[in-house]
């Protein structure tokens, strides 16, 4: 457990001692500890921090880098990255504070338009400037020309290898290996473009900024990849509102065969959750494998 005193000491060591900040713990998140930094005099929140032990410093450093990229490429869509600070014991990511609330239908439509705008930022190859993390698991991002090669070697295969170490059965191993050997069958005439992805877009990573009256995305695990992966992820743990999908498709329509690739893209996150949180996610893995086998 990381204490408020540890957070304050690290902030003080980085030059924030004169700002009269009090760390207030916030709930939410399975990976990091979260705090609002509140002004002691006004009791107004000034910053938000994500904190973890120093062994996970690369995770938060990677998110800091990603938020810096989003600030340049898509201003105001994500929290503003303010600092990354690390000691021998803990590390923290300092970002702008936002008051989050329920998302109105019209804001969900704006979120769909925002994501479509983000997906129109493209690259010549699939990958990212550096490796990052999906949860606490390493996400490889070496630049690659071909999407199927990238998705198998840098997404599914690393998760499969980790799942084998975590006890995935021989049957599932062979089934997923077969899927990887036959990826082309799921694509037909569809040639994905390297689009700027959020990378971990479920309902817990999108909200509504009630002060600024606009949608906000956060906790990204970005790279340039097939935009269908972001849309598929929005449906894995409960769907976004209909207005979100309608606005997205009105701005940037999906390929006619996008539905057939959803379990392929769900499989990556299902394996990741199995590797992070254990056997309770094995059924989710098996469900995706079955859907792909039935294709």
Is 200 an active-site residue?
Answer: yes
Closest of 74, 22, 32 to residue 57, by C-alpha: 32
Question: Counting beta carbons within 10 angstroms of the beta carbon of residue 191, is it exposed (0 to 12), middle (13 to 18) or buried (19 or more)?
Answer: exposed
Closest of 190, 115, 118 to residue 148, by C-alpha: 190
**200, 209, 219, 226: which is the annotated catalytic residue?**
200
Number of H helices, E strands in the chain: 10, 12
Q: b/e string for 201-232 if b means 16 or more Cβ within 10 A?
A: bbbebbbbbbeeeebbbbbbbbbbbbbbbbbb
Contacts of 167 (CB under 8 A, 6+ apart): 279
**DSSP code for 201:** -
Between helix 157-165 and helix 258-277 the angle, nearest 10°, is 40
The residues assigned a catalytic role are: 200
């Amino acid at each position: 457990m990381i204490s408020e005193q540890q957070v304050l000491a690290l902030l003080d060591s980085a030059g924030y001692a004169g700002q009269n900040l009090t760390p207030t713990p916030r709930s939410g998140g399975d990976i990091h500890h979260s705090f609002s930094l509140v002004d002691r005099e006004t009791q107004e929140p000034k910053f938000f921090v994500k904190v973890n032990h120093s062994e996970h410093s690369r995770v938060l450093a990677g998110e800091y880098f990603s938020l810096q990229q989003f600030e340049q490429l898509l201003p105001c869509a994500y929290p503003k990255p303010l600092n990354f600070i690390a000691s021998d014991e803990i590390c923290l990511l300092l970002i702008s504070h936002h008051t989050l609330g329920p998302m109105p239908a019209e804001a969900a439509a704006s979120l769909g338009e925002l994501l479509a705008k983000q997906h129109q930022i493209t690259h010549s190859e699939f990958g990212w400037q550096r490796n990052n993390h999906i949860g606490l698991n390493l996400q490889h991002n070496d630049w690659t020309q071909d999407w199927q090669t990238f998705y198998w070697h840098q997404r599914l295969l690393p998760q499969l290898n980790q799942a084998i170490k975590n006890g995935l059965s021989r049957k599932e191993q062979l089934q997923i290996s077969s899927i990887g050997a036959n990826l082309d069958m799921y694509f037909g005439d569809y040639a994905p473009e390297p689009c700027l992805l959020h990378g971990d877009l479920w309902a817990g990573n999108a909200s509504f900024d009630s002060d600024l009256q606009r949608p906000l995305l956060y906790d990204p695990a970005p790279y340039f990849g097939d935009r269908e992966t972001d849309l598929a992820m929005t449906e894995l743990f409960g769907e976004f509102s209909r207005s979100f999908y309608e606005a997205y498709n009105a701005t940037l329509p999906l390929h006619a065969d996008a539905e057939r690739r959803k379990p392929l893209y769900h499989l990556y996150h299902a394996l990741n959750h199995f590797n992070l949180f254990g056997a309770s996610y094995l059924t989710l893995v098996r469900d995706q494998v079955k859907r792909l086998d039935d294709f």
